[in-house]
Structures are given as structure tokens and as C-alpha cells.
Chain A
Amino acid sequence: MTVLEVKNLTHTYSGNTPFINDAVSRVSFSAQKGEIIGIIGHTGSGKSTLVQHLNGLLKPTEGEVFVDGENIWDNPKEIRKIRSKVGLVFQYPEYQLFEETVYADIAFGPKNMGIAGDELKKRVLDTCRLIGVKDEYLEKSPFDLSGGEKRRVAIAGVMAMKPEVIVFDEPTAGLDPAGRESVMKIIHDYRQAVGATVIIISHSMEDMALLADKLLVMNKGSLEMFDTAENVFLKGDRLREIGLNVPIVTRVFYELKAAGIPVPDNVFTVKRAVEVLKGIKAGERGA
């Protein structure tokens, strides 16, 4: 089922100032329920501009965005409603925390959606349970938490709105491996619980190979590829041309292939790499 559809989206920055911009031209793609889509592209390729259209923070210069089959700009006065359907978590979201308690901060989003009373309390508590924020944290100030915990609470603030599509701009930037793992886990848990579509902007091809069903590759404001992660990573030469790359393990396998070892081209994760090499070894022994 198509949840989100972008048609011919173009955004040129107004003002015509000679200053930097991050325009987008003629991008079309659609996302199915429950899918994980990775967005890759180097800095300035239009990724951030693109995702800010998905929840109506930016209005397309041309083209349309459909959520659940409805053009989100049909009724511009109601644009705020779309933000509970498409959640957007910015880079370093902990910088948006402002309330006195963790509870109040997580409640900010649902409250803006008009949810109140017991329903609001339930929303907040459910979200906390889902992402593993302990009850004793709820009355703490969010500013007393550690870096990784702040990030989780900030993400919870968006998840509490229960969006059916949730977009993350480099959700693990600046975290250490333990912090990264816990953020990836809550994204996974949320998707499981709500059946949401997840869109992630990332610089890590290794993470994308592990996570994404589909990859959307941006280059100079245009959609370069939109395909399964496997098909995208098979086009390693093109990715390199536009300043991107394939996962490191894939690069190792290019070398193996060049040395005459009969490895396939579609090895993108360590797990698969080990299986492939084991297979070859077993085959040799059998022969």
C-alpha cells in the first residue's frame, strides 16, 4: 500500500540571492507501508530540502506530495495536520528539547495535535515504554540526561505523535557505537509496533546495506537512482562518480574478484561475505 507519494517535486529557493542553496528538481518516488528507505547523497545534493517537503515544512515550487492519497497542499490551512502523519526528526534533535521535564517535552507534539487528558498521558507513557525510557526519568529535566539519552527522548517527542511515516536526518550522527545501536533499536521497535514507513538520511553505506529495503540516491538536486539497496550498490562505478561509495566489504570483494576468486557482485554485509567465502571454500573441498 502506498503511504507517501512524491510527484515531480521541484524546489528553487526564492530571493535569488547569490548565496548557497540546496535546490531540488523533478523528484518522484513513492513509499509503501512498513518500508525502510535510505536516502544517500553528498552534502548539498538536496536531501534535506527533499525531506522537508514530506511534512509540509517547505512548499514545492512545482509538483505534489501525497500522503495516504491526498495532496497535502489541497488545504494549506490544514498543513499542520500532516505533521502528525509524517514525523520528521532533524539532525541532533536533542537541541530542540526545551521543557522542564522529560514527560512535558515528549507531550509537546501530541498536545499540539489537540490530544489532552488521559489520552495524552497514555500516548506519552506508551512511547516511553516502547523506547525504553524508564518511569523515574519522566520527572527529570531533559538537560540532566546523557547525550545518548537526550537523543532518545527527542526522538520519542516525534514518535509520540504516532506518525505513519517517520523521517530521520542522520539519527546517529555524533553518537558512539552504543548510542548508535540504541537509536537504531528504537527506530526498529517503533516500526514494528506501528507498522510505520521509515525514511533515513545517512552517510554510512554499511548501515544502509544492513537496514534499507530501498535506496534513494540524490545528486545535485536530482533523483539519481531509486531502487532496491542491492541494485543500487551494484552500480558502484556510478556511485563513485557522484562522490558516494559502496560498503567497505563490497570494496574488499571487488579486490577478491580482480584476483580471480569467483565471488558474486552482490556482497554488501559482513554476514553475507562470510557465507559466500565459506561456500566457496566448501565447494573447493567438495571438488
Chain B
Amino acid sequence: MDSIISVRNVTYEYREEETVYAAVKDLSLEIERGSFTVILGHNGSGKSTLAKMLNGLNKPTSGDVLVDGINTKDESTEIEVKRKVGMVFQNPDNQIIASIVEEDVAFGPENLGLEPSEIRRRVDNALKAVDMYDFRESTPHRLSGGQKQRIAIAGIMAMEPECLVLDEPTAMLDPKGRAEIISTLHRLNSDKGITIVLITHYMEEAENADRVIVMNDGKIIADNVPKVIFSDVKTLKSVGLDVPQTAELLYSLKENGFPVDTHALSVKEAAAEIIKAMRSEE
């Protein structure tokens, strides 16, 4: 596997006064270049701590994180790592630095010391990629949550990273904003080949991912394609995760003796599964 990020036996400990608390425990993980990975976990499962280690914002207490072969512990290549692996956070308001959309998107490339014409090109491309080009001269303050979050994504995209790590980017958005962000991420992944690592606790956002990793108590407890992960409703519920209503419905039907396959996720797939089951004994 061609890995963009390798996480090797990583442990991360927080110290709070006397007590030491391990948020991530001896975790290993490879992220394949060009893949779309979703990391699921409830609040406090260690998923955010892991996310911040992927671009060197947090340094592991023990173990190593390699980005394209570069160890994030190496201080001389810190900027290089952050340029390759961009990071988007939960609250879009706290990531936007400038009062004009395009000036904000320019912030990253400006820090890289690029030529003005190159910055312009990247800003325009990034804004087009998230479908916010028409808003380039607007004030972020007036935009909706989903639009602001897309500006934050554009701000990272303008650094032309290879990988985007997003830490619960939809947690503060309404359903419309959430849908906007998820479809934007899939477009960046399929059209531009950007590796996506999406951290969330909304399971339905993992529907079209290549791979789903479930975290609990600082460890990986499941790692598979979405259909296999979602069919295990019991485990997901036991680690405090949200289960889409389709999965819940199929699971209840199965418990009531219906011969349904609980792998189905979308409304259409679930309906097809139920129709099959209803007709099976006719």
C-alpha cells in the first residue's frame, strides 16, 4: 500500500496536574494515498487527539507519525508536513482570519512565500473547487455555516495539500450545511485525488467512504468498508455512536425474524432489502 500517512505504535498522554491520561493508546494506522477514510468515535474516544497528530499539531508521547516518510517530530520539516497534510476544524468562525473571503483563502499561500500571481491562481482554484468562487469578495461573517466551512476548506486547499484531515467539520452545521460539506469532500477526493480523513460522529457521513475506522477509548476497534461496519449495529451502539435510521430499521426487522441483510445503508438499498424480504416467503 502506498501510504501518505503512517501512524506507528502511537501513544498520546495528557497530563492534568498529578494524573496522566492516555487519549490514544499504542495505535497503528496506514492511510492510503488518494483514499477517503472516515474515523468514527464518540466524544472522548481519542479521535480528535489522533487527528491533530496526523499533521504534527500534536506530537506523540511515544511512537511515530510519518507523513510521506517525514517524521512529524522533526522540527526542521514542520512546515513541510503542515503543507502536505491540511487540517480543518469544527468551528468555521475560529479558522477564518481575514474579513474578505479571498484574502482569507490567500493566508496560507502567503505564509508559504509564493509569488503574488501564483497565490492568485491558487486562491481562485481553491474557491472554485469548493464552489465558493462567486463569494470571493464577500465578508465571511455574513455567510451561512456551511459556506464558512467551505471557505475554511478552500483556505487549506490553496496550500495544495495532498491530504485533508477534517476534525468534525459538520458538528456545528444544519442538515443543509452538512450535506454541502460532505459532497464537497467527495468531489475533492474524486476530481483532485486529495486524500481525505474525515473525523465525525455522524455515521451517515461515512456512507460513501472507502474505509471506516471506529475508535473507542483511544484504540481502533473496527476497520473495514462501510457496509460491513454498519451492519454491526450492536457494537456501534455499545460505543456510543449514532446509527442511521435505515440501519436501525433493518436491525430491528432482523431481530423480529425478517430475512434482511443489514448491510444496506441508503434509503433505496434499505427499501430494496425489505422488498426482497417481504417477497421471499410468498
Find out whether A and B make contact in their complex, taking CB atoms under 8 A apart as touching.
yes
Within 8 Å by CB of A281, from B145, B174, B252, B278, lies: B278
- Interface size bucket, B side? 35 or more
Query: With the chains together, A273 CA to B246 CA distance in Å?
Result: 11
**Which A residues lie within 8 Å of B223 (CB)?**
none
Q: Which of A92-108 contact B (CB under 8 A)?
A: none
Contact with B along A52-79 (1 / 0, CB 8 A): 0000000000000000000000000000
Q: A251-B267, A271-B252 are in contact. List 15 more A-B contacts (CB 8 A).
A: A146-B44, A148-B43, A176-B240, A176-B241, A176-B242, A177-B237, A203-B175, A248-B244, A248-B267, A252-B246, A252-B271, A255-B271, A277-B253, A277-B274, A284-B282
Q: Does A194 contact B (CB under 8 A)?
A: no
Q: Does A113 contact B (CB under 8 A)?
A: no
Q: Does A1 contact B (CB under 8 A)?
A: no
Q: Which of B7-64 contact A (CB under 8 A)?
A: 42-44
Q: Does B248 contact A (CB under 8 A)?
A: yes
Q: Does A193 contact B (CB under 8 A)?
A: no
Query: With the chains together, A255 CA to B264 CA distance in Å?
Result: 14
Given A252-B274, A261-B275, A42–B241 Cβ distance below 8 Å?
A: no
Within 8 Å by CB of B278, from A203, A261, A273, lies: A261
Query: With the chains together, A206 CA to B144 CA distance in Å?
Result: 24
Query: With the chains together, A146 CA to B44 CA distance in Å?
Result: 10
Query: With the chains together, A215 CA to B255 CA distance in Å?
Result: 32
In angstroms, how far is the closest chain B Cβ from the Cβ of A260?
A: 9
Given A252-B246, A270-B249, A277-B274, A19–B176 Cβ distance below 8 Å?
A: no
Within 8 Å by CB of B248, from A148, A270, A281, lies: A270
Query: With the chains together, A179 CA to B43 CA distance in Å?
Result: 9
**Which A residues lie within 8 Å of B282 (CB)?**
284
Given A178-B240, A270-B245, A270-B248, A256–B172 Cβ distance below 8 Å?
A: no
* B residues at A contact (CB < 8 Å): 42-44, 142, 144-145, 171-172, 174-177, 201, 237, 240-242, 244-246, 248-249, 252-253, 256, 258, 267-268, 270-272, 274-275, 278, 281-282
* A residues at B contact (CB < 8 Å): 19-20, 42-43, 146-148, 173-179, 203, 206, 243, 247-249, 251-252, 255-256, 259, 261, 270-271, 273-274, 277-278, 280-281, 284
In angstroms, how far is the closest chain B Cβ from the Cβ of A109?
A: 26
In angstroms, how far is the closest chain B Cβ from the Cβ of A141?
A: 14
Query: With the chains together, A213 CA to B211 CA distance in Å?
Result: 40
Query: With the chains together, A280 CA to B249 CA distance in Å?
Result: 16
**Which B residues lie within 8 Å of A270 (CB)?**
245, 248-249, 252
**Which B residues lie within 8 Å of A247 (CB)?**
245
A259 and B253 within 8 A (CB): no
**Which A residues lie within 8 Å of B271 (CB)?**
252, 255-256, 259
Query: With the chains together, A277 CA to B44 CA distance in Å?
Result: 38
A259 and B275 within 8 A (CB): yes
Query: With the chains together, A40 CA to B183 CA distance in Å?
Result: 24
B249 and A252 within 8 A (CB): yes
Query: With the chains together, A284 CA to B278 CA distance in Å?
Result: 10
In angstroms, how far is the closest chain B Cβ from the Cβ of A95?
A: 12
In angstroms, how far is the closest chain B Cβ from the Cβ of A70?
A: 35
B256 to A, closest residue via Cβ: A274
**Which A residues lie within 8 Å of B171 (CB)?**
174
**Which B residues lie within 8 Å of A174 (CB)?**
171-172
In angstroms, how far is the closest chain B Cβ from the Cβ of A143?
A: 13
